[in-house]
Structure 1
């Protein structure tokens, strides 16, 4: 058997006994990755004009239908089944061979209670922020989302931590091997993005709010980090879980160029809802003081189909203000408090 793999411009070309398969992570994509029994339409399969003859493949192919407009739907029996998700392979033909990708289509049981646990739920439990256990705690609490921060090591491995350094070690200037030796105060290892996402996608209740940190080494490194983050999310088939946030507008736009249907919100607070909507972002994610100063932005954003998140809100009065003003999400170090306020 001849099995020749050639890496070319991010693509992998495999030739096996004369049969060519051209695999590119972003050749095929979906506009949405979730379903429910009440909403069986998953989304639109997006393909380049050069791709034709699309077919659903694999053991779950019979659980879905693809119409002439490339709209993907789940059949009623599969939607009502207990499975939390299905992996579905889609294949098409090009002049160069076949293209295929596998998507994880997830039952939408995600919580919608506005509560985003900032760096996970760590404060009341006494664990370490941005740790695997803080993520697990946020999931157990029933938070809508768990926020976390991602950096890239000197040798391009992705790690989860808020600050650019940890225990005196600069993440961007250290190797993955050096960072792997670091133990968090709760005894866990410094988590890689792969480990964090792998844990997070074991459930379908809490979203993963992924902040791509702005590199201290320059714009190009920030964009390289962004490419690796989006590639990791796609490789792990975590699109249904992950929303992206960033302080760098270049990073936000880079995510959208890599995945036009990704949910991306901007953090820095210096752009109007009008501009964010014009650039097709998902929402604004601003410090609470910015939104209190520009109160009209909340309604303006929502009228433009943008989501509104306020960070980081920890006191009861300010939490109540944003609940009253119907913010879509509130990021907090006190998820237990916010959950108790919502429950009343």
Structure 2
């Protein structure tokens, strides 16, 4: 019985996590390694391990090791504990991510002919030079993660439909409905545009937690952490993301919690509808004071776009990324 309980508790210990996954010529410090729920000693391995240095669980890339033509390095880290060893491979990405505040809502689709939430819309956002491209994730009846805004598509309810049927559907632009894996793989071919992953609310808490774990596992398996910022309307999902990875960048969408509450729960930011800031005009200043990131959605009106630019919020989600980019470049 004791052995069984030990094994069960062992499986609840998370894999090694890293507080950051990027590096640059200007800053060779990457992040801090930890193993949630346990003390551990860490060891670097793999063909790129000699490029990195680990001291007091702080990971850095050795000066002079950064090659101009390399976008990222994979590094395997083993965490040794009293209970055993845990291994995780991280993709450490050269930080060439754009910082212009423009987030393309469901990709860049409105002015390009692409279908929203398609890989083509993502690729258009990347080519435009957006800081981020937002997309929506649901889970099928057989627990496959797919990209779509609504809980239904072409008359099919996603959570009750098999993935084979859904992934065979043709979008208006001719593409197939993308899976999360195919979408992330497309986004990870570059290191300029972040992928803003929205986990959609689902039918109950149990399924929400299952969906969240599946999303996080997919991101970790693909080594996509450097690219991903998470958002959700469901606070349970936000908190589960933080439990699974305390360093995940998680912002809340629903607009019903103050910056003070989000900061107390250690979220990364607030990502509220434009109207929420109009009703609570002091929240932007409060969020800045608390060190939270601030996003407004979905802002398409030029006057409102300019207003949020003037207030120097961190991100603006829009269906008009081309317009916002022009305004920023003036």
| TM-score (structure 1 length as normaliser) | 0.91
Query: Could you say which residue in structure 2 is the equivalent of 1:101?
Result: 88
Q: Aligned runs of 1:1-344 on 2, under 5 Å? A: 26-47=14-35, 52-67=40-55, 69-215=56-202, 217-344=203-330
Q: Deviations over 1:71-106 (max 9, x none)?
A: 000011223542111000112333444321111111
Is the contact between residue 35 and residue 79 of structure 1 (CA under 8 Å) also seen in structure 2?
Answer: no
Offset, 1:143: 0.1
Q: Deviations over 1:279-306 (max 9, x none)?
A: 0000000000111221211111011100
Number of residue pairs matched by the alignment: 324
Offset, 1:51: 5.3
Q: 1:197 to 1:9 in 2, by over 3 A?
A: farther
Secondary structure of the residue that 1:255 maps to in structure 2?
helix
Offset, 1:122: 0.4
Q: Deviations over 1:164-201 (max 9, x none)?
A: 00011001110011112211001111000000001111
Q: 1:252 to 1:337 in 2, by over 3 A?
A: same
- Give the distance between the partners of 2:110 and 2:155, measured in 1 at CA: 23
- Give the distance between the partners of 2:271 and 2:314, measured in 1 at CA: 10
Query: Could you say which residue in structure 1 is the equivalent of 2:4?
Result: none
Alpha-carbon RMSD across the aligned residues, in angstroms, is 1.7
Deviation beyond 4 Å, 4+ runs, structure 1: 8-12, 48-53
- Give the distance between the partners of 1:84 and 1:135, measured in 2 at CA: 19
Q: 1:97 to 1:274 in 2, by over 3 A?
A: closer
- Give the distance between the partners of 1:295 and 1:50, measured in 2 at CA: 42
Is the contact between residue 142 and residue 162 of structure 2 (CA under 8 Å) also seen in structure 1?
Answer: yes
Is the contact between residue 35 and residue 79 of structure 2 (CA under 8 Å) also seen in structure 1?
Answer: no
Structure 1 residue runs of 5 or longer lacking an equivalent are: 1-7, 13-23
Is the contact between residue 25 and residue 101 of structure 1 (CA under 8 Å) also seen in structure 2?
Answer: no
Secondary structure of the residue that 1:102 maps to in structure 2?
strand
Is the contact between residue 10 and residue 83 of structure 2 (CA under 8 Å) also seen in structure 1?
Answer: no
Q: 1:163 to 1:10 in 2, by over 3 A?
A: farther
Structure 2 residue runs of 5 or longer lacking an equivalent are: 1-6
